[in-house]
Homo-oligomer: A and B are copies of this chain.
């Protein structure tokens, strides 16, 4: 019976991610960011429009609106109207936003990297490959 229990794997994985992010949350907060805001910032380069962000981050549109507003007020984000489609807003990181994002991701990398350190380099690569297959 090689079949594994998918719900168990999901749950295990979830707890892993949450443990890591909970541990770094205070340090991220010191940068002036909520963790959700950090992950939003991290996707802005690739997905500059709020609707895409909502889809990518699995969060409802109003949540994006609110978070974007906060990030804009904090000076981490600029919001310009897309001249090609007046409904759209094109988001872009300000220098300080980029800096905060970089620092924040470094914190996450460090914390999660400690866990990943339990795996060999080959296993790490393997894991990444498997997740990419799943997430694609």
Contact = CB atoms under 8 A, between A and B. Distances in A.
Given A108-B10, A112-B10, A130-B119, A58 B124 contact: no
A9 B126 CA distance: 11
B131 A119 contact: no
Contacts of A7: 42, 105-106, 108-109, 112
Interface string A104-136: 011011101101101101011111101111110
A22 B58 contact: yes
For the side of the interface on A, what is the size category? 35 or more
A42 B18 CA distance: 17
Interface in A82-110: 105-106, 108-110
Given A7-B112, A10-B112, A119-B130, A15 B135 contact: yes
B133 A118 contact: yes
A16 interface: yes
Closest 9 CB pairs of A and B: A18-B58, A6-B113, A6-B109, A6-B112, A16-B135, A7-B109, A7-B105, A7-B108, A2-B121
Given A10-B20, A18-B57, 6 more contacts: A4-B116, A6-B113, A10-B112, A12-B131, A14-B17, A15-B135
